[in-house]
Amino acid sequence: MIKTVIFDFDGTLMNSLDMCVQSLIEAISPRINRCLGKDEVISYFGLNEVGIVKSFLKDNYREALEDLYRIYAEYQKDIPLTPGIKDLMDELKNRNIKVCMVTGKGPTCLDISLKHFNLESYFDVCYPGGEQKPNKDVLINKIKNELKLKDDEVIYVGDALSDVKQAKEASCRCLSVCFYNPDNYKLLSSINPNQVFKTVDELKTYLLKEIDNERDN
């Protein structure tokens, strides 16, 4: 029986890929005397923003991080939550399902976004990503241990191919979403068949139906 749903942030709760990439480009490029490309920045995703900045800057990364957080906060003002996603999370809470977060985003940018949406204390457990390597599998297992959950009592919701892999490494089922990148549907479906959703309504209908059916049986 599902007891906990863990959400990703970027690409799931918010259409934030371009905002994250552009913030990193603007903070790092002036300090390395060349303009970083989008694909180059994305190749470092899996690390949080601190880890990405440190990958380019060994000595003066602290000033770059200060610029990054300022730039990110400005972009955040114009980017809304994914329409309908808060309603879905509220519906889960109404069913006494714990709503948690595991994201690759670092703690400071995550804090900026959560404060912007007044979600600082919304999640039952909330873990940001690490500097040195992708660690969502570790964090999912940490939540499972803290909440005393069995493998089949937790679901992870994320948009990336790596989310499927890391959820599986944590013996956790993954529901994949492609709200903002529908071209990923076929690729996600090839590694996570029948568990990919193009819209929040599709995800909501599927997830709530499963929870309700489990409780009726």
Q: What are phi and psi of 100, to 5 degrees?
A: -125, 175
Question: Which helix (H) or strand (E) is 176 found in, with range?
Answer: strand 173-177
Residue type for position 173: R
In DSSP notation, 8-48 reads: --BTTTB--HHHHHHHHHHHHHHHHTSPPPHHHHHTTBTB-
Compute how many other C-beta atoms are within 10 angstroms of the C-beta atom of residue 186: 10
The tokens of 186 are what? 């076929």
The pTM assigned to this predicted structure is 0.95
Question: Measured between alpha carbons, how far apart are the two ends of the chain, in Å?
Answer: 10
Q: What is the DSSP letter of 130?
A: P
User: Using CA atoms, how far apart are residues 72 and 159, in angstroms rounded to an integer?
Assistant: 21
Decide: helix, strand or coil at residue 115: helix
CA distances from 71 to 82, 112, 211 (A): 21, 11, 40
Hey, what CATH class is 4-15+80-216 in?
Answer: alpha beta
Residue type for position 157: V
From first to last of the 217 residues of the chain, give the pLDDT tens digit.
Answer: 999 999 999 999 999 999 999 999 999 999 999 999 999 999 999 899 999 999 999 878 999 999 999 999 999 999 999 999 999 999 999 999 999 999 999 999 999 999 999 999 999 999 999 888 878 999 999 999 999 999 999 999 999 999 999 999 999 999 999 999 999 999 999 999 999 999 999 999 999 999 998 877 7
User: Using CA atoms, how far apart are residues 37 and 25, in angstroms rounded to an integer?
Assistant: 7
